[in-house]
Amino acid sequence: MTDAEAQAQHAGLAHQFEDLEQQQDADALGIWIFLVTEIMFFGGLFAAYAIYRWLYFAAFQGGSHILDIRLGAANTIVLLASSLTMALSVRSAQTGNRRALVLFLIATMILGGIFLGVKAYEYNQKFVEHVVPGLDWAPEGQTLGRLAPGGLEHAQIYFFFYFAMTGLHALHMIIGMALLLWLALRARKGSFTPHYFAPVEVVGLYWHFVDIVWIFLFPLLYLIGGRY
């Protein structure tokens, strides 16, 4: 390690820690515990969803068929690609490749932006089809019309979950985009070295978690009961 690197290492050490390794261990533990709180936070929604899906399967199936499965699948791939670029950006920080780090962070942001754009389009479609609980609920014909009496109300519960779950997910993505922007700016200035890139790793873990939530949202919201 050169003197400059040693200085940079010391510059990143907070006063309450004895050495950089303790700080890195603490940071890692901290973000993982935070992710566990996010598991429980989204988990409450998943638990409620599980109950109602079991109770009102037909209505959930009917609601799910209104969603555009191709857009959902394509968006899933977009988000998975963003996880790839995020992992590659962390790797670039590890290897000290500043240019690649910045480029991969920007790529992650672009992919995240595409995802959010598609979601915005999908939300707009829901207004066009009048299946927005509380704001514009006046569904016409199609699959929802074939539900048993009471099914329309249950379908409203399904769409409430659709908006609550994807909305909360989208909110987390927007926060993630802001964090990525902050990272990209800092990376451009050269703040990260192979010995100090904890913020990149921490944001990376957060981003992957948000991706995992979507990995479950896609089948649970878009692929209910099949389309045959």
Partner 1 sequence: MSTATLEPRVRAPRNYLNADYGWKSWLFTLDHKRIALLYLVSISFFFIIGGSFAVLMRIHLVEPGGALVQPETYNKLFTLHGIVMIFFFLIPSIPAVLGNFLVPLMVGARDLAFPRLNLLSWYIYIVGGLFTLYSAIAGGVDTGWTFYTPYSSTYSNTQVTAVAIGVFITGFSSILTGLNFIVTIHKMRAPGLTWFRMPLFLWAMYATSIIMVLGTPVLAITIFLLALEHLFHVGIFSPALGGDPLLFQHLFWFYSHPAVYIMILPAMGVVSEIIACFARKRIFGYKIVAFSSVAIAVLGFLVWGHHMFVTGQSVYAGLIFSLLSFLVAIPSAIKVFNWTSTLYKGSISYEAPMLYAMGFIGLFTMGGLTGLFLASLATDVHLNGTYFIVAHFHYIMVGGAVMGYLGGIHFWWPKISGRKYPNGWAALAAAIIFIGFNLTFFPQFILGYLGMPRRYAFYPAEFQVLNVMSSAGATVLGVGYLIPLVYLIWSMRYGPIAEPNPWGATGLEWKTPSPPPTENFAEIPVVTEEAYAYAPEEAAGD
Partner 2 sequence: MSQPIVPQKTYIMVFLGLIGLTILTTGVAFIDLGPLNTVAALAIAFTKMLLVILFFMGVRHSSGLVRIILVAGFFWLALLIAFTTADYRTRSWTPAPDSWSSTAPPTHP
Distance separating alpha carbons of residues 64 and 46, to the nearest angstrom: 16
> Residue 166's CB: how many other CB atoms inside 10 A?
21
Strand partners, 131: 137
According to CB under 8 A, which one of 3, 54, 149, 190 is a site residue for partner 2?
54
Amino acid at 87: A
Window 49-68: residues binding partner 1 (CB under 8 A): 51-52, 55-56
Q: Which of 3, 44, 70, 140 binds partner 1 (CB under 8 A)?
A: 44
Quote the least distance from Cβ 70 to partner 1, whole Å.
28
**CA distance linking residue 26 with residue 168, whole number of Å:** 28
Tell the smallest beta-carbon distance from residue 33 to partner 1 (Å): 5
Query: Which one of 1-9, 38-46, 132-140, 162-170 is the stretch in contact with partner 2 (CB under 8 A)?
Result: 38-46
Q: Is 106 in the site for partner 2 (CB under 8 A)?
A: no
Q: Does 70 bind partner 1 (CB under 8 A)?
A: no
22 binds partner 2 (CB under 8 A): no
Q: What are the strands, taking DSSP E only, across the chain?
A: 131-132, 136-137
Q: Count residues binding partner 2 (CB under 8 A).
A: 53
CA distances from 154 to 150, 176, 189 (A): 6, 33, 53
Whole-number minimum distance, CB 83 to partner 1, in Å? 23
**String of contacts with partner 2 for each residue 69-98, x by CB under 8 A:** x---x--xx--xx-xx-xxx--x--xx---
Distance of alpha carbon 13 from alpha carbon 16, whole angstroms: 9
Query: In terms of C-beta density within 10 A (0-12 exposed, 13-18 middle, 19 or more buried), how is residue 226 classed?
Result: exposed
Query: How many CB atoms sit inside 10 A of residue 193's CB?
Result: 15
The answer to whether 153 contacts partner 1 (rule: CB under 8 A) is yes
Reading the block at residue 92, the tokens are: 């670039």
* Strand, helix or coil for residue 177: helix
Residues of the shown chain interacting with partner 2 in the complex, contacts defined by CB under 8 A: 21, 24-25, 27-29, 32-33, 35-36, 39-40, 43-44, 46-47, 50-51, 54-55, 69, 73, 76-77, 80-81, 83-84, 86-88, 91, 94-95, 198, 201, 204-205, 208-209, 211-212, 215-216, 218-220, 222-223, 225-228
